[in-house]
Amino acid sequence: MQNHKFKIYIFLTFLLFFTTACSVSFKSGETGNDGGVYASANQGKLWKQMALIPTVTGSAKSIASLDNYSLAMDPSDDEAIYFGSLDNGLFYSYDRAKEWRVAEGLERKTVTAVAVDPDAKCIIYAAMENKIYKSTDCNRAWEQAYFDNNVETKIYSIAIDYYDSRNVYIATSRGEVIKSPDRGTSWQTVGRFDDEVKKIVISPNDSRVLFVGTDKKSVWRSLDGGVNWVSLEENLKTFKDSKKFRDLAMSQAEPGVIFLATDYGLLKSSDQGNTWSQIELITPEKKAVINSIAVSPKNAKEIYYVTNTTFYSSENG
């Protein structure tokens, strides 16, 4: 199995942890060999694996052996969760991960990104290789919404403007941010960064404020919906190896608060990226490759991160 990545996602009252099908530790000395999805309703103290796939014959199937690549939750319905797998297509659950079903109509390939329209829950976008697929009927049928002429291009991230969900952004391995103003009917490039763009994040406090993480050329910020971009590399220069991006999360509870994971370690900004400070980690910075960060929507001091093998949480920022 590949040691690919782990993801965490918080939605108000519960925490989801998506893993690859290899060993991960939740507490010191405790490890497991199952992948898939784990859920916690008590801030990560106790976990339960959620991997069942029901069948017409009643035989037990599971996503526990699948490697995760992407995940998304319906912003308007915390029962609806989407699991993008490595080489096995898209799976979804409409009962908070109790049971999973495969999204028919999509190829069984790697789903590199998935997103749900915040205003129309049956509109889902899924990225596979150099294409974006769109469903308007809750996974029953899919159509191609975007195609990149370069077959080597990968789409790594999808972000939807919660203020105006017609605006859809995608990030590519070619170093572009591409925007659709009409839910995927037409597209235009709004940013070029000369490096792979790994993630797009829309500020939960102002949807005109965008951040993109590039593979090795730091983080960029736009304050006007992608019209203009500014590199934050100079603001991060005191932190060695901070140009190598791992993940970024923003606080909904405290506007302007950002958490950034890099090869340096975990950093925090309270002013939308103008200045940064180091967050002390339990593990030494160079020994902790952080794959994912999450911050509570209710409390900016409640943060979570995962390394290749271990889940960590903090209640004091």
Q: What is the pLDDT along the chain (317 residues), one digit of tens a residue?
A: 444 455 666 654 567 766 654 434 333 333 344 667 888 888 777 888 888 888 777 666 888 888 888 889 899 998 999 999 989 999 999 998 899 999 999 999 999 999 999 999 999 999 999 999 999 999 999 999 999 999 999 999 999 999 999 999 999 999 999 999 999 999 999 999 999 999 999 999 999 999 999 999 999 999 999 999 999 999 999 999 999 999 999 999 999 999 999 999 999 999 999 999 999 887 665 567 888 898 988 899 989 888 877 788 888 76
Q: What is the pLDDT of residue 164?
A: 98
Distance CA 87, CA 235 (A): 38
Reduced to 3 states (helix: H, G, I; strand: E, B; else coil), residue 35 is coil
CATH fold of 199-317, please?
A: Methylamine Dehydrogenase; Chain H (2.130.10)
Residues with Cβ < 8 Å from 237, sequence gap 6 or more?
none
Please state the domain extents for the chain: 1-106, 112-192, 199-317
Q: What is the pLDDT of residue 46?
A: 81
Q: What is the pLDDT of residue 286?
A: 58
Q: What type of residue is 154?
A: K
CA 9 to chain centre: 8
Q: What is the pLDDT of residue 15?
A: 73
Q: What is the pLDDT of residue 307?
A: 83
Distance CA 177, CA 9 (A): 23
The CATH number of the domain covering residues in 112-192: 2.40.10.500
Q: What is the pLDDT of residue 35?
A: 67
Distance CA 291, CA 108 (A): 25
CA 166 to chain centre: 20
Q: What is the pLDDT of residue 284?
A: 60
Strands (E), 175-244: 176-180, 188-192, 197-202, 210-214, 219-222, 230-231
